[in-house]
Amino acid sequence: MFTIEHDFDATVVTLVDEGEAPLQEDITIAAFAECVTVEQLDPRTDSVQKITLSMSQLRDLAAALDLPEGIYRLTPGP
């Protein structure tokens, strides 16, 4: 399950882990104009872990999901 919310400066997607145990904590993804953040509660430390991706890193990640094993560099299109 997931939710999508449009805030003033970001689009926020929350991913909820469903199914059989063990389940993971919810993941919150916030898409801003200049970056994307991914947050998840770490129950061992009771703190939120946050990763910030540049738009370039996000583009590379999206491309990587559909590619076989290897090393790649994306180049600007025409």
Calpha distance 53→36 (Å, rounded): 5
Q: What is the pLDDT of residue 72?
A: 86
E strand or H helix at 64, and its extent? helix 55-64
Q: What is the pLDDT of residue 78?
A: 72
Q: What is the pTM of this model?
A: 0.82
Q: What is the pLDDT of residue 77?
A: 75
Q: What is the pLDDT of residue 30?
A: 96
Q: What is the pLDDT of residue 3?
A: 92
* pLDDT under 70: residue ranges of the chain: none
